[in-house]
Amino acid sequence: MRQTYRLAGLCLLATLSNTALAGWVLFHQQGQPGHREAYFAEITHTTERSEVDSTLGTGNDIMARTSVWEMPVLVVHESATAPEWTELKLQFECMNKYRASSYSEAQKAATARQEGKPYNPSVIADGWNDPARWNDPVNMRIAARSYTVPRVDLSNRPLAETRWAKDARPLMIKAQKFACQGEDVRNALQAAMSQGPFDVGRFNTELQKIGLVEPVHPLEARTAIALLDLSWNVLWKDSKRPDPSGLWVKKLSPQDKARNEAQYAAIQKQMDDAVQITNKKYLPKLKKMQAEHGFVEAAAKVRGKRSLSNMEASALMVWLAQEESEVAARIGAPAVAQSGNLKFLGYDQSFDNTSAMVHAPSGRVLEQGVRTHCEAQFVMLQDKANIWRVADVRISGSSSQLGINPCHGLLNVPDVPAARK
């Protein structure tokens, strides 16, 4: 029998720092008194576990439609016959939010450009975040590195990896949303902190957009011991805690306590240093990739149904989502104009080496040489981080002779990352 719990709001809020970025959240509880379980998810530590070969598409798809994401979930058990706690590495099969154009779409786009017709398919996968499928069973497994901690000796005992299987339990459906929709969860966290102190109500309102309709409770707790204390001192404060090992009631000497605190502080410092090094190395790249992915859909709306010339389509392939500073670095200082939420960077170049020549027998004046003119306009749109990025490239040019590109040398290719080449 499934039971919904209402927690003492003040008690839970006391565990949440106003400035903390929530890592663990209490997202599910189940069971009757004496046999209850509390489920905590570390929503900021999701990891992609897709095999390299599985990222390639099949049939008409260039890229795979699904990927595998893993998230730690810690379960605290109330029953005296159950373990003290269990930590699960849950892996879920996730639909990819963004998709690459299929081979047939690429062909259609090329044909449309030749015919001067608009063709702008969405980069959001069909069926993404479909409310009609919010409660569908999820494909999941318990991965390696999961373990359980028996009450009798509080030792770590590994759990065997399970096979992939469909699971329709509410707790797994909710966990899958946190694991698979990381971008939306991060947006919810950012929205909750946008006005200062962490706004739990705003956080839950944002999560409702991805089907997490029951409130979840963000926590400042960072260790299994802290989650255990929360469970027994807040959730089940009227229940007697089983302690067959005797370790929970054993009083430490001041020397033991000081030694344990020093060891914990050293371990915590190592963890914090590792996080800082990792964030310094990878976080800027990750934020840039996230900004670019979210920007693509907005840029398509800016272009609307405008038909692109071959030159414009080629330019857009390498310039889309590039920052304003990159445009200026590669091409030079532009003529800048702004209208509404769009900024326009204008460039032009002209070449003229024509001269007049008189044809003596006929008296006609002939022109020799070449005259060209090219105008390029980069349409810029701000992303969620308020960084101006290229949303469209509009090019017009003319030449007095066929076969000469009037824009040659003007639109230098940007220094794109290897992943975009």
Can you list the positions of beta strands (E) in 156-242? 157-158, 165-167, 217-219
Percentage of the chain lying above the pLDDT 70 cut: 75
Express each pLDDT in 271-321 by its tens digit. Answer: 677 777 877 777 777 666 666 666 787 888 888 887 888 888 888 888 888
Residue 84, both tokens: 């003290």
Q: pTM for this one?
A: 0.57
Express each pLDDT in 144-170 by its tens digit. Answer: 999 999 998 888 899 999 999 999 999
Judged by DSSP in three states, 361 sits in: coil
Q: Show Cβ contacts of residue 314 under 8 Å, excluding neighbours closer than 6 positions.
A: none
Express each pLDDT in 83-98 by its tens digit. Answer: 999 999 999 999 888 7
Percentage of the chain lying above the pLDDT 90 cut: 31
Can you list the positions of beta strands (E) in 155-305? 157-158, 165-167, 217-219
